[in-house]
Every structure is written in C-alpha cells, then in structure tokens.
Amino acid sequence: MINLFPLFFLLFLSSITIVFSDLEADRSALLRLRGAVRGRTLLWNTTSSNPCSWKGVKCNNLTNQSNRVIELRLPGDGLIGQLPLNSIGNLTQLRILSLRGNFLSGPIPSELGSCTELRDLHLQGNRFSGKIPETLFTLKNLVRLNLAGNNFFGGISSAFNNLTKLKILYLENNQFNGSLPNLSSLTELRKFNVSFNALMGSIPPRLDTFSSQSYLGTSLCGGPLVSCPSNGNKLSGGAIAGIIVGSVIGLLLILVIMFILYRNYRSRKLLQHIERSPIPPSPVKPSENGFWSPMPIITVTEEQKFSNSFASEERVGKVVVQGGSDGLVLFGKDVEMFSLQNLLRSSAEVLGKGTVGTTYKAYLENGAEVIVKRLKNVCLSEKEFRGEIENLGSFIHENLVPLRGYFYGTEEKLLIFEPMPGSLSILLHGHNRRSLSWEIRCKIALGAAYGIQYLHSISPDTTHGNIKSSNILLTEYYDACPSEFGLTRLVSNITSPNLNGYRAPEVTDSRNISKKADVYSFGVLLLEILTGKEPDSVLIEDGIDLPSWVQSVVQEKWTIEVFDPELINFDNFEEQMVQLLNLAISCTVQHPDRRPSMVEITRRIKRICSL
Ligand SMILES: *[C@@H]1O[C@H](CO)[C@@H](O)[C@H](O)[C@H]1NC(C)=O
Ligand SMILES: *[C@@H]1O[C@H](CO)[C@@H](O)[C@H](O)[C@H]1NC(C)=O
Ligand SMILES: *[C@@H]1O[C@H](CO)[C@@H](O)[C@H](O)[C@H]1NC(C)=O
Ligand SMILES: *[C@@H]1O[C@H](CO)[C@@H](O)[C@H](O)[C@H]1NC(C)=O
Ligand SMILES: *[C@@H]1O[C@H](CO)[C@@H](O)[C@H](O)[C@H]1NC(C)=O
Ligand SMILES: *[C@@H]1O[C@H](CO)[C@@H](O)[C@H](O)[C@H]1NC(C)=O
Ligand SMILES: *[C@@H]1O[C@H](CO)[C@@H](O)[C@H](O)[C@H]1NC(C)=O
Ligand SMILES: *[C@@H]1O[C@H](CO)[C@@H](O)[C@H](O)[C@H]1NC(C)=O
C-alpha cells in the first residue's frame, strides 16, 4: 500500500524535509535551551513550528533553503541556570549571541566553537565561571567579545591572538590572574578593558596605547600606568650619576638613529613600496583612520564661511587628456606634466589601506605632492577601465576631490588625486573633536551633500558608491569634498557587510550602488556627524547599527541623549540639531523609495542650518 504513492510525491515530501530540517534542528536547539534555564520562562509559542517569530530570535530569510537562526538576543530576561549541551552549539549559523544581564552560571560550553559565523558575543553581567574554553579561540570571525562582570578565572590566554578580527575585547570585573599576554596580532583592536582583575606584570607594547581607564584596579605597570619597578639593589650616588649620563647619551644615540630611519622611511621610493608589497588578495580594512596629522584649529571667518556655494553652471568639464609616452595619463589642461618614471621614483609614504586599494602620498622631485591610489582586484577590461576613468576625470566640482590621472598596466592600476589637508573621519574620531563646532559640522554636511548631489545630477546611474567619513576630505576652511567616487564599480564585489556600517540593507553587490543606497550612506554619515559615533567600528552594543541605535534611543529615552557630548553651545542649536537628526533618520529608512533625494537633502540642510 505504502508503495503506491507516486514518485514525484515522495520526492516532494523529501524535498520539504530537506528545506526545513536545518531550521527544525535550530528550533530543537532553542527548545533545549528553554528547557534548561529557569527563572522567567521564555515566552515562546512552542506550538509554532517556525522559531523565527519567537522573541529575540532572528533568521536569515533570503531564501527558504538556507533559513537558519542567525541572531539570538535575550538580554536581561532573568534567565537562571547553566547553558545546556546541544543548544547554542547547534545554532551553527549564529552571528550574534547576546545573553547579557541574566543570572547564567557555570562554564561557557566548549561547543560554542561550532558557531563559526559568530561576530558578536555578549555574555557580560552573568555569573559564568571557569576558564575560557580553548574552542572560543577558533571563532575567527569574532569582532566583539564581552565577558565582563562574571567570575571567569585563570590566565588571559595568548590564544586571543587567533581572533584577528577582534575590535572590542571587554574582560573587566572577572578574576583573571597572571600577566597580560602580548596581543600583537589583534591589529584591529579599538576598545579594550581588563579593569578589576588580579593581573600583574607589565603592559605589553601593543596594549600600552589604551588609557589607564582600561587597567583600573589591577597591579599592572608600565604603559599608561606607573612605570615598572626596576629590580636592583640600592645604588650609590656615583652609580646613579653614571646611569643618568649613560642614559642621556643613549637617548641621543636613539634619537639620531630614529632620525636616520625616519629619513630613510620618508625617502623610500614609490616603486619600492609597490614592488615590495604585493597587494594582498582580500583583506578589507573597514576604516582608514589615522593618516594625516590633525588639522590646525582655525576660526572660520564670515567671508570664508560659505564662499563655497554650489556653482550649478560649472557642469561636467571637458576632459583634456595628456597621455605620456610611458602610459601615464593626466587630466586637465593646466596640470604640470610628470611622467610615470618621475612618479615611481618619488618618495612615498603609506596613508592607508582601504576597501579598493592602498593609498600613498608621493613627493615628486619638483616639490609637488600627489595622492596615488593603487587599485586591487580590478575587474574591468582595459577598454572599459579607461572609459570609466576618463568619465570620472570629467566630473569637476568644487565639492569633489578631482581625479588628476591614471596609469593602466598589466600588473598595476594607479589613480592620481589632488592632495587634501584633512578628513572628516580624523576630525570626528581624533583628538580634536571639540574644534568641530555645530556651525562647522553644518558646513561639512552641506558641502558633502553638494558634491554627492552633483554626482547624482550627471546621469541616471552615476553614484558615489562608497560614502563614509574617511572618504569626505576637507580643505583648510572645512569645505567638504567627497573622494573615491565611482571606484567600487571598478573592482570586484567587496563583501564586508557586517563591517561596513554605511551600506544600505538592500545592497548585495558593491559594484551596483543605487542613488537611494548613496542616500542611506549619507544618512549614516549625518548620524555620525551628530552623534560622534563611528558606524564602522560598530562600537555600539550587540551589533546594532548606528541607525537602529539612534532609533532605539530616540524611542526609549529622549532625543538629546543621542547627540555628541562634545558638541558645545548645545542650547543655542538644539532645534537645528533635532531637525538634522530627523533628516538623517529619514535617509536611513529601510525602504529605498521612502528616502529623500539628494536635491531634497541639500535644500533641507540649507534651511535647517540657515546657510
Ligand atoms: C502559536 O502557534 C500556533 C501555530 O502556529 C497558532 O495556531 C497559535 O495561535 C499560536 N498561539 C499564540 C498565542 O500566538
Ligand atoms: C523575514 O521573515 C519575517 C517573517 O518570518 C518577515 O516578517 C520579515 O519581513 C522578513 N524579512 C525580510 C528581510 O524579508
Ligand atoms: C518561500 O516560502 C514561502 C512560504 O513560506 C513561499 O510562498 C515562497 O514561494 C517560497 N520561496 C521559494 C523561493 O521557494
Ligand atoms: C546537534 O545536536 C545533536 C543532538 O540532537 C547532536 O547529535 C549534534 O552533534 C549537534 N550538532 C552540532 C553541530 O553540535
Ligand atoms: C591558533 O592559531 C594557531 C596558528 O594559526 C593554531 O596552531 C592554534 O591551534 C590556534 N589555536 C586555537 C585555540 O585555535
Ligand atoms: C591563577 O589562579 C589559579 C587559581 O584560580 C591558580 O591555580 C594559578 O596558579 C594562578 N596563576 C597565577 C599566575 O597566579
Ligand atoms: C609580541 O609578538 C610579536 C609577534 O608574535 C613579536 O614580534 C614581538 O616581538 C612580541 N613582543 C614582545 C614584547 O614579546
Ligand atoms: C573599564 O571598566 C571599568 C569597570 O567597569 C570602568 O570603570 C572603566 O571606565 C572602563 N574603561 C574603559 C576605557 O571603558
């Protein structure tokens, strides 16, 4: 009897089980968790076969086939007990796990190592204890790890060096003992706290860049804390004098050596940089902070302030191409000519590694300076590349960083830009944020908007494609000029969705950024200007992006909470700030069609800031 089912029906049945088996397994894992923890029970509808609608559970629903649980957030849910086996570790697609602020105890189960996709792990404020399991160090995608406020003990393992993507590591208020290991592989680390642990010994070199606030209540020494005691007997006066003289001579010697090294470093030729450092295939550094020195603080006088209004007559300039015999192509009729040989022989320094390639500052022999961008993973044919670049070279506007030329070789693809004195990213996230008054922030927002509006006016599919604060360069009068427009179209798809806090949710291919996706990124940029928070380094709790964080604060508390505390003169401009915040929120709505156009945005910034 059973054999009488038609074959297609059996296949259909089995395909259904395949489709739902993974999600079904995730559902059982969640139920095992629910069954093991006491306290306030998780109010999940367990009769429902789909766990994706349960509170705190999020699935990826791109296609039905790969439907899996990717986020589990149960903060402050009163959970008591130990994490059971075959629960969390079975959610192998999990990207975000937040169990902070509960009463969970016992060890972190070592099966956590199966969650290889994990980016964010928030276990702070529980009663977990024991040693950190070795398997945790196999989570190579981990960006944020917060284990603060538990009872973990034992040494801080040097295996943390395996978590090379880590940006945030919070271990404070535990019972870690021993010394701090050399965490020199954690090159992305931005936030670090080991306060209130039984740590001792010296702070290793890489970690001494964090302030003493990261090391409260420990017996550590060196770095930002008092220097470590030297272990020696009492010395006679003569010996001390000898040591002082010796140290002074030593110091002078070191200074001389450093000076020589510095000169050598400065005079390393661009060619050597290029020859010695093959472009690595993929690593994508999300933020390129920290290149130029902070800009001098200047006061913007009335005349200078808005001398830079939008010159709508100056449309697309006629591109004058001067091709050198050695393949270097320069744009514009006024530019001083130099050859590829001149360029490659110039001294150069690395400014940063970005999403599309490495940027150098080159000092030509005639005293001129240019910015050279070395593209990686170019995915266009020579003809297409030349066409695209010559098109980009024709975009001339006072709120854009002009492209001065390019070189297309089989090995190397170089772009040449005008140098600029500073970037918004460095000003906002460097040491000088206080110098960014409300008026200057308004001016920067408007300048950047003009540049992007101009790009959008050129043709239906001309977009910037990579709007972020490190790509908003500034003149010494704070005229904002977006740079690197149109470059993501030249290189293969850049997949760093969780690191790029500026990317609109609907974007799947970085080569194809719509105008509305630009508007989203611009909205995030406005939020960054208003809040002073970095969208890239996602310093915000639980992997929530900047727009969601702002939304949640505005809904739960009062709007004033979101603004940058460094913004002085708060009272005079509160109204303007709230209006600009509303504009930024409307730019970052999920639905692309509901976002305003750049024309509308510039009009509104002008009105809000009365510029
Ligand atoms: C729980 O889920 C079942 C099946 O989806 C549904 O019939 C029922 O109404 C749900 N109960 C509640 C309280 O939502
Ligand atoms: C994912 O599915 C849920 C229902 O399970 C739905 O409410 C939500 O809009 C979907 N999200 C996307 C991005 O499609
Ligand atoms: C996905 O599932 C929904 C119902 O759950 C169905 O309507 C839709 O056709 C499915 N899509 C694909 C691509 O199978
Ligand atoms: C998931 O749970 C089952 C028990 O139901 C177990 O046999 C299996 O090994 C687990 N899988 C993973 C990847 O942990
Ligand atoms: C850390 O990385 C090293 C080298 O990549 C490897 O040998 C070691 O097993 C890793 N440790 C853990 C705990 O993953
Ligand atoms: C750290 O504490 C553990 C007990 O919790 C002890 O066995 C170990 O010796 C201590 N290590 C150091 C370096 O003090
Ligand atoms: C730290 O580790 C790096 C690489 O593992 C090494 O180059 C460096 O010398 C180490 N520093 C110290 C102080 O051990
Ligand atoms: C580190 O944690 C301690 C204790 O919670 C806190 O007082 C301190 O401000 C934190 N430091 C940083 C740099 O966040």
Is 53's C-beta closer than 6 angstroms to any atom of ligand 2?
yes
Backbone angles phi, psi at 511, to 5 degrees: -80, -10
Question: How distant, in Å, are the alpha carbons of 97, 144, 152, 200, 520 from that of 129?
Answer: 18, 20, 4, 20, 43
Query: What's the confidence (pLDDT) of residue 43?
Result: 81
Q: Which residue has the higher pLDDT, 510 or 110?
A: 110
The enclosing H or E element of 242 equals helix 237-266
Distance CA 400, CA 450 (A): 9
Q: Which residue has the higher pLDDT, 499 or 263?
A: 263
Confidence of residue 511 (pLDDT cuts 50, 70, 90): confident
Statement: residue 226 has pLDDT above 70: yes
Kindly report the protein residue whose alpha carbon is nearest to atom 14 of ligand 7: 182
Is 64's C-beta closer than 6 angstroms to any atom of ligand 3?
yes
DSSP conformation class of 491: B
Statement: residue 190 has pLDDT above 80: yes
Ligand nearest to the CA of 198: 6
Question: How far from chain centre, in Å, is Cα 323?
Answer: 37
Statement: residue 343 has pLDDT above 50: yes
CATH architecture of 17-221: Alpha-Beta Horseshoe (3.80)
Cβ atoms of residues 104 and 126 within 8 Å = yes
Statement: residue 296 has pLDDT above 70: no
Cβ atoms of residues 191 and 211 within 8 Å = no
- The percent of residues above 90 in pLDDT, for the chain, comes to 43
Mutation to probe ligand 4, out of 27, 30, 33, 86 (largest number of atoms < 8 A from CB)? 86
Is 17's C-beta closer than 6 angstroms to any atom of ligand 3?
no
**Average confidence (pLDDT) over 160-170:** 93
**Alpha-carbon torsion angle 456, 461, 465, 468, nearest 10:** 20
Statement: residue 61 has pLDDT above 70: no
Question: How far from chain centre, in Å, is Cα 125?
Answer: 26
Three-class HEC string of 412-477: CEEEEECCCCEEHHHHHHCCCHHHCCHHHHHHHHHHHHHHHHHHHHHCCCCCCCCCCHHHEEECCC
179 exposed, middle or buried (CB, 10 Å; 0-12, 13-18, 19+)? middle
Query: What's the confidence (pLDDT) of residue 433?
Result: 81
**For 75-117, how does the pLDDT look when each residue is reduced to its tens digit (9 = 90+)?**
888 889 999 999 999 999 999 999 988 889 999 999 999 999 9
Question: How distant, in Å, are the alpha carbons of 166, 308, 323, 400, 445 from that of 475?
Answer: 34, 11, 29, 11, 14
Query: What's the confidence (pLDDT) of residue 534?
Result: 86
Report strand pairing: 191-193 vs 168-170: parallel
**Average confidence (pLDDT) over 456-471:** 93
Report residues whose beta carbon is within 6 angstroms of any ligand 4 atom: 86, 89-90, 92, 111, 114
Query: What's the confidence (pLDDT) of residue 1?
Result: 37
Query: Tokens standing for 498?
Result: 């969780």
Name the least confident of 169-178, 248-257, 494-503: 494-503
The string of DSSP letters for 381-404 reads: -HHHHHHHHHHHHT---TTSPPEE
Confidence of residue 292 (pLDDT cuts 50, 70, 90): very low
**Average confidence (pLDDT) over 275-285:** 44
- Ligand 3 atom at minimum distance from 19 CA: 14
Query: What's the confidence (pLDDT) of residue 56?
Result: 87
Statement: residue 495 has pLDDT above 90: no
Backbone angles phi, psi at 170, to 5 degrees: -115, 115
Distance CA 235, CA 289 (A): 46
Span from the CA of 225 to the centroid of ligand 6 (angstroms): 23
Is 184's C-beta closer than 6 angstroms to any atom of ligand 7?
yes
Statement: residue 596 has pLDDT above 60: yes
Statement: residue 411 has pLDDT above 90: no
Cβ atoms of residues 127 and 153 within 8 Å = no
Cβ atoms of residues 403 and 455 within 8 Å = no
pTM above threshold 0.95: no
**Average confidence (pLDDT) over 407-411:** 87
Distance CA 415, CA 371 (A): 8
- Ligand 4 atom at minimum distance from 89 CA: 14
Name the least confident of 120-124, 243-247, 305-309, 568-572: 305-309
Cβ atoms of residues 372 and 356 within 8 Å = no
Ligand nearest to the CA of 63: 3
Kindly report the protein residue whose alpha carbon is nearest to atom 1 of ligand 2: 61
Q: Which residue has the higher pLDDT, 487 or 276?
A: 487
Statement: residue 11 has pLDDT above 80: no
Span from the CA of 167 to the centroid of ligand 2 (angstroms): 30
Name the least confident of 275-279, 344-348, 395-399, 576-580: 275-279
Query: 């801080």: which residue's tokens?
Result: 156
The enclosing H or E element of 252 equals helix 237-266
Q: Which residue has the higher pLDDT, 63 or 301?
A: 63
- Ligand 4 atom at minimum distance from 111 CA: 14
Span from the CA of 25 to the centroid of ligand 1 (angstroms): 20
- The percent of residues above 70 in pLDDT, for the chain, comes to 77
Cβ atoms of residues 196 and 218 within 8 Å = yes
- Ligand 4 atom at minimum distance from 92 CA: 13
Is 177's C-beta closer than 6 angstroms to any atom of ligand 6?
yes
Statement: residue 334 has pLDDT above 60: no
Report strand pairing: 422-423 vs 472-474: antiparallel
- Ligand 1 atom at minimum distance from 50 CA: 5
Extents of the domains making up the chain: 17-221, 284-417, 422-608
Confidence of residue 453 (pLDDT cuts 50, 70, 90): very high
CATH architecture of 422-608: Orthogonal Bundle (1.10)
Cβ atoms of residues 485 and 465 within 8 Å = yes
Other Cβ atoms closer than 10 A to 107: 14
Average pLDDT, the chain: 81
CATH topology (fold) of 284-417:
Phosphorylase Kinase; domain 1 (3.30.200)
